[in-house]
DNA sequence: GATAATCCTATTATAATAATAGGATTAGTG
DNA sequence: CACTAATCCTATTATTATAATAGGATTATC
């Protein structure tokens, strides 16, 4: 039930990055963020780890430490965040690897549907930056980079 | 791993409907379809049931029976099929019911992202009919100028 | 009456998700 | 220099959804 669902990993990752973007240059601890959103701190730690390894956030240990964005909020898209913690957007497995190597390519045109869906999802995710998210008027008046010709 | 995935229910449902569309007005048995795609017949039966209850296919029992489309292939979209067997496209739960009733609405603009993604998915799925899928030249030559929003 | 199909309900195996647990390391503060 | 607050790291477990299996009842054709 409920197709094309995003797991909590991607969901929470965007939430954390959104909070870091709001905090500007200062460091925010996962303890604060997890308490605010009533989430498990340990779970958030697991989720933030790949974001750090991908160079999207910087961690600072010890008292007064926490996380902060490693790049400007306008240079981090929601798509980067989601794909970093969840992997590529591939709605149906057969698009990546061929489940039925003989028949699939010639026979099954449905494959093109799933490819289109994946591209549409990526397009939306890549068109929204963290800077967009923290804009007062989002989503009513999008501005900066990204293609929003079809909004 | 792999966000926005479609489960096999939706995948197989489209596959079956695609086969029925190719068969035209005649009846195709799930035994044939499941054998051809190397899938479990019992599992397909479970998947086809809601399609029948929704009036998308008609079943005929007994020798020579099987399933056939209940409407013209041009009047059945991939979106209808997927939503019938999987439910509505809601990438993140908080969009439907409010996980954090107090904070979410005011505070979390990420919500708008998930709504946009859901709409983009629906748009693609609703723009493709079974008649499109069985066209010789799909998807190379869409009938009307790239964007096929219907109705 | 044999057979081929849908139709129906319940149960189970598998895998992915979502966490929990427990600790090691690092850096400021009194 | 201890104390504390934070990241950092690895492993295990609970929960859930998915994917299927099993077994039968019904209906239509030959």
Planar angle of CA A96, A100, A106, nearest 5 degrees: 90
pLDDT at A121: 97
Give the per-residue pLDDT at A15. Answer: 96
pLDDT at B143 over 90: no
Q: Which of B1, B113, B124 sits opposite A120 (nearest CB)?
A: B124
Q: Flag whether residue A72 sits within 8 Å of chain B, measured between CB atoms.
A: no
Evaluate whether residue B2 is within a structural domain: no
In a domain, A150, yes or no: no
Is residue A3 included in any domain, yes or no?
no
pTM comes to: 0.90
Q: Which residue's C-alpha is at the least distance from the C1' of D4?
A: A63
Of the given ranges (A19-28, B94-103, B110-119), which has the lowest mean pLDDT? Answer: B94-103
Residue A34 belongs to some domain of the structure: yes
Q: Please, which residues 12-41 of chain B have a Cβ atom closer than 8 Å to chain A? A: 14-15, 18, 36-38
Q: What is the mean pLDDT of residues B68-97?
A: 93
Local structure of B117: helix, strand or coil: helix
Beta-carbon contacts of A140 under 8 Å, excluding residues fewer than 6 positions away, are none
Instruction: Check CB contact under 8 Å for A15 and B108.
Output: yes
Whether B11 sits inside 8 A of A94 (CB atoms) is yes
**pLDDT attached to residue B148:** 45
Higher pLDDT, B107 or B56: B56
Of B140 and A51, the one with more pLDDT: A51
Lowest mean per-residue pLDDT among B5-14, B106-115, B140-149:
B140-149
Q: Do the domain assignments include residue B120? A: yes
Q: Which residue is nearest to nucleotide C16 (CA to C1')?
A: B1
Digits of tens for pLDDT over chain A (151 positions)? 889 999 999 999 999 999 999 999 999 999 999 999 999 999 999 999 999 999 999 999 999 999 999 999 999 999 999 999 999 999 998 776 655 555 564 567 898 999 999 999 999 999 999 999 999 888 765 555 445 444 4
Token pair 């079974």 in the structure block, residue: B130
The fraction of chain B above a pLDDT of 90, given in percent, is: 75
Q: Is pLDDT above 90 for B151?
A: no
**DSSP letters for A79-106:** HHHHHHHH----SSHHHHS-SSTTHHHH
Report yes or no on A2 lying in a domain. Answer: no
Q: What is the mean pLDDT of residues B127-136?
A: 94
Sorting pLDDT into bands at 50, 70 and 90, what band is B97? low
> How many separate domains does chain A show?
1
Whether any strand C atom is under 7 angstroms from the Cβ of B30: the reply reads yes
A31 touches strand D (CB under 7 A): yes
Assigned domain for A101 exists: yes
Residue B53 burial by CB count (10 A; 0-12/13-18/19+): exposed, middle or buried? exposed
User: Which protein residue lies nearest to nucleotide C28, measured between its Cα and the C1' atom?
Assistant: A63
From the number of C-beta atoms within 10 Å of its C-beta (0-12, 13-18, 19+), residue A69 rates as buried
Region B16-27: what's the mean pLDDT? 96
Residue A109's domain is classified under what CATH number? 1.10.10.10
Mean pLDDT of B31-58: 97
Which residue range is the domain that position B91 belongs to? 8-131
Q: Is residue A137 included in any domain, yes or no? A: no
Distance of alpha carbon B56 from alpha carbon B75, whole angstroms: 10
């Amino acid at each position: 039930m409920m197709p094309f669902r995003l797991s909590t990993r991607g969901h929470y990752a965007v939430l954390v990055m959104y909070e870091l973007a709001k905090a500007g240059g200062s460091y925010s601890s996962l303890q604060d963020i997890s308490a605010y959103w009533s989430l498990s701190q340990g779970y958030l730690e697991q989720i933030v780890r790949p974001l750090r390894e991908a160079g999207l956030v910087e961690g600072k240990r010890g008292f007064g430490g926490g996380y902060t964005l490693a790049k400007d909020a306008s240079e981090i898209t929601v798509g980067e965040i989601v794909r970093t913690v969840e992997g590529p957007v591939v709605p149906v497995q057969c698009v990546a690897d061929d489940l039925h190597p003989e028949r699939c390519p010639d026979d099954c045109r449905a494959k093109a549907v799933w490819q289109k869906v994946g591209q549409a999802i990526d397009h939306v995710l890549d068109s929204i930056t963290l800077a967009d998210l923290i804009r007062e008027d989002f989503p009513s008046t999008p501005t900066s980079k990204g293609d929003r010709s079809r909004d």
